[in-house]
Amino acid sequence: MSPARVTPQRRWDLTVLVAGLFVLAVSGWVVLRAVARLSSERAEVAQLRSEADRLLQLRSSFVPPTRAESLAWEAADVDARALGVDPAERLALARTIARLAENAGLRGVQAQFIASDTLGVEPRTAAAGISYQPAAFGLRLVARGSYDDLQRLISRLPPSVTVRAMSAARTVGPPEYRLVLGVFVRPEGPS
Amino acid sequence: MRLATRRTFAALLDPFGVAIAEYERERAGVRILSPIVEPGTNPTAQAAAERLVTLLQSRGVGASPVNIALSGFGAVSHTMMIPSAPPEVLEAVVAREVERIFGIVDPVVAFSVARPRERRSRRRTADDHPLPLRLVVCGAPRALVDAVTEPFHASGLRLETLTTLAPALARLLGSLEPAGSAAAIVATAFGRPFTAFTVDGDLALQLEPPHAPANVLAALPLLATEQVERGLLFVRQQFRGAAPARLIVSGSADECDALRQMSGGTVSGLPVAVHPADPPEAAILVGTALEAERRDALSFVARPERLGGRLRTAIGVSALTLLLPFAAALLLMVTSLVLAAAVQGAQRDQATLRQHIEERAATLGALRAVAARRAMVDGERTILAQARAEHGTLATLLARIAFAAPPAVQIDSLTLRVDPRGALGTVTAHAVSVSGAGAITAIETLYAGIRGLAPGTTATIGDLAWGPAAGATDSTRTAVAVGVEFKVPPAAAPVGGGRGVPAVPSSEVPR
């Protein structure tokens, strides 16, 4: 069609048609945006609903501690105090070990602090981030007595120590025993 | 078969009478119902129209459509050949020709383009002029058209088509005569003959008697014969010798007999086929109805459009096309609004859920503290059990070492070192026996006992050192000393530290 045949009416029609197509395109774009937005909003709703349900389930499945459990916790607290020592209380530990040895039947008990860097003691860890680290000191114990006394001592040692080395030597009189003990410190903060 | 229930009328307005009949559309055409013929001179077309309106109103006809064929009063029919021309200029050309030929000032014309008929013997090439147009034209003075339509407008009756007699006769002839090249008919109305010829289904010629009442005219057979002869000559000359095979005669029984008996059953050499009608004007009314039923009926008045057509005209097809994108956009906008409402609903749901989560999370602080307390107690119990097991394992190991030595063997020293690889130990011992073999047997028992300390224990025995037994009172007793190194694997050794295994399964811990 030559340009001369484009009448004003036809030009108006074309203008209206182009405008209609433009409005149609804009409307289509708006619909697509709305669909995408709705999709993301619904995904967010689903996630929040899942979280709310999880919290609800958590709360409904929670069993409050009973009296017996509270008492068990207190007992566990007492036991837990033996799992480690305060480095400032190492003399008390030495005294405890010496007393345990003498109570086990050993005689001539001598306790001595040693450095722990060669003992190769690994921390004691458990779930919930609980960790008892080795102390910077160890304990060397020298005593005499029967082999049974030695076994009795070892079985009565507190959980805050670990036997890293021992030796027994027959000499004149009762055998002499040397024990090298690693020590664990109590973690800082409330236990 | 009745196809529609609305009443439709066909009418004939003639200077010498009016005729009208209701008709029904049928699958094969139309059927005339109770025609009414009122002969009588009509001095003017308006008088005839008013007479017709009165006739309709007296029979209670309301807004039913009426289709009229005009005979006389100055209305003309004509066929003309004009050079090919675009459709938009045809009406002006036809009007000018009607004005020029018939001397009608300000004519109203209705025309149709007949099938082209090639008159050349050789094939027409692209360089030749296109075929001329053959037009079937009806014309009438505008005053005549206004005079007929005015009584209808005044009375509220619907005048649907207003045409001349020629198209009605052509339609009547088309319905009576099988398809052929040429056909002819003589139909009578108010005692006057009207003759029409068609070629290839299109009107070729229509002849009317002189304007005089039937009683002053020559006998009808003579008038008809004269018209037929003139028509035959015209058709033969204009359509390359075309001639109808017979002549249809439609009229009253007497008129048909009179025409049939001329020249021994022929008219101008054409055999006569009679088509009696009662009244004779009914045949013309049938033709009028047939013409009115055509979508492209020749009419001086615009056919009132039906509702769909009126809507199309009002809006315009192109306007519909233009409005389509806007309609689609409107639909999309409505969809957007619905989606926006859905988004708002989702956001409300989110707000509600967030509130629920906050409310539930607020109570979780205490729950978390209890859960942490339980986990801590579990961990401490685990480590406690691990430490006790470690000490117990070492005590058991020492007891097994002592048990590994038979009575003939005396352990002189024992060293033990514990590290992550297990327990590494050295035992030095000596055996006293009256025989060397006995002493070795005792050492062997010790060695076997040490290797059996725990599954996976390895042991290495050193060289044997022989010598006299200490404190022996006879020279027959002998002693042998030996060192045994052993290694107990970590699983059976009192290895300290590391990650503890829960002493009591968490599931059994009171919660």
Interchain contact, A126 vs B392, CB within 8 Å: no
**Predicted local distance difference test score (pLDDT) of residue A157:** 94
Tokens of A72: 């068990």
**Predicted local distance difference test score (pLDDT) of residue B257:** 78
Find, in chain B, the residue whose alpha carbon is nearest to that of A48.
B353
Grouped pLDDT means (10 residues each) for chain A, 191 residues: 52 81 91 94 94 86 86 85 89 95 95 88 83 93 94 93 93 90 82 43
**Predicted local distance difference test score (pLDDT) of residue B217:** 59
| Contacts B343 to A, Cβ<8 Å | 34, 37-38, 41
Given a cut of 90, whether residue B471 has pLDDT beyond it is no
**Predicted local distance difference test score (pLDDT) of residue B67:** 92
Tokens of B305: 């459009």
Residue B408 β-bridge partners: none
Question: CA geometry: angle at B392 spanning B387 and B394, to 5°?
Answer: 100
Q: Is B81 on the interface with A (CB under 8 A)?
A: no
Given a cut of 70, whether residue B56 has pLDDT beyond it is yes
In tens, the pLDDT along B128-183 reads: 777 788 889 999 999 999 999 999 888 888 888 999 999 999 988 888 877 767 88
Q: What is the DSSP letter of B405?
A: S
Name the band, by pLDDT with cuts 50, 70 and 90, for residue B218: low
The dihedrals phi and psi of B44, each to the nearest 5 degrees, come to -130, 165
Name the band, by pLDDT with cuts 50, 70 and 90, for residue B213: confident
In tens, the pLDDT along B400-416 reads: 998 998 988 989 999 99
Rg over CA atoms, chain A = 40
Name the band, by pLDDT with cuts 50, 70 and 90, for residue B20: very high
How far apart, in whole angstroms, are the C-alpha atoms of residue B162 and residue A180? 134
**Predicted local distance difference test score (pLDDT) of residue B458:** 93
Inter-residue contact B364 to A55 (CB < 8 Å): yes
Place of tokens 């077309």: B45
Helices H / strands E in chain A, number of each? 4, 6
Say if strands B158-164 and B65-70 run parallel, antiparallel, or are unpaired: parallel
Give the mean model confidence (pLDDT) for residues B188-209.
88
Question: CA geometry: angle at A13 spanning A10 and A16, to 5°?
Answer: 155
In tens, the pLDDT along B236-283 reads: 888 878 888 888 888 887 777 777 776 667 777 777 777 777 888 888
Q: Give percent above pLDDT 90 in chain B.
A: 24
Report in angstroms the alpha-carbon separations of B335 from A32, A45, B261, B330.
Answer: 10, 22, 81, 9
In tens, the pLDDT along A20-44 reads: 889 999 999 999 999 999 999 999 9
Q: What is the DSSP letter of B500?
A: P
**pTM (2 d.p.):** 0.47
Place of tokens 């005339």: B32
Tally of CB atoms within 10 A around B142: 13
Q: Which of A10-14, B24-28, B36-40, B276-280 has the lowest mean pLDDT?
A: A10-14
Sequence-distant (≥ 6) Cβ neighbours of residue A110 within 8 angstroms: A141, A142, A143
**Predicted local distance difference test score (pLDDT) of residue B331:** 92
Helix, strand or coil, per DSSP, at residue B502: coil
Find, in chain A, the residue whose alpha carbon is nearest to that of B316.
A13
Q: Give percent above pLDDT 70 in chain B.
A: 86
Inter-residue contact B164 to B110 (CB < 8 Å): no
Question: CA geometry: angle at B170 spanning B39 and B160, to 5°?
Answer: 65
Please tell me whether the peptide bond between B279 and the residue prior to it is cis, using omega within 30 degrees of 0.
yes
Interchain contact, A163 vs B350, CB within 8 Å: no
Helix, strand or coil, per DSSP, at residue A183: strand
Given a cut of 80, whether residue B13 has pLDDT beyond it is yes
Find, in chain A, the residue whose alpha carbon is nearest to that of B418.
A164
The dihedrals phi and psi of B22, each to the nearest 5 degrees, come to -80, 145
The dihedrals phi and psi of A180, each to the nearest 5 degrees, come to -110, 120
Inter-residue contact B406 to B445 (CB < 8 Å): yes
Tokens of A110: 């001598």
Inter-residue contact B169 to B287 (CB < 8 Å): yes
Residue type, B192: R
Interchain contact, B394 vs A37, CB within 8 Å: no
Say if strands B192-199 and B182-189 run parallel, antiparallel, or are unpaired: antiparallel
In tens, the pLDDT along B345-375 reads: 999 999 999 998 888 888 777 888 888 888 8
Inter-residue contact B134 to B202 (CB < 8 Å): yes
How far apart, in whole angstroms, are the C-alpha atoms of residue B511 and residue B498? 26
A vs B: CB pairs below 8 A: 219
- Give the H or E element holding residue B55: helix B45-58
Residue type, B210: P
Interchain contact, B339 vs A34, CB within 8 Å: yes
Question: Which of A52, A124, A134 lies at the smallest CB-CB distance from B500?
Answer: A124
| Contacts A129 to B, Cβ<8 Å | 379
Q: Is B317 on the interface with A (CB under 8 A)?
A: no
> B 331-370 residues with CB below 8 A of A?
332-333, 335-336, 339-340, 342-343, 346-347, 349-350, 353-354, 356-357, 360-361, 363-364, 367, 370
Inter-residue contact B281 to B306 (CB < 8 Å): no
How far apart, in whole angstroms, are the C-alpha atoms of residue B130 and residue B464? 139
Tally of CB atoms within 10 A around B452: 13
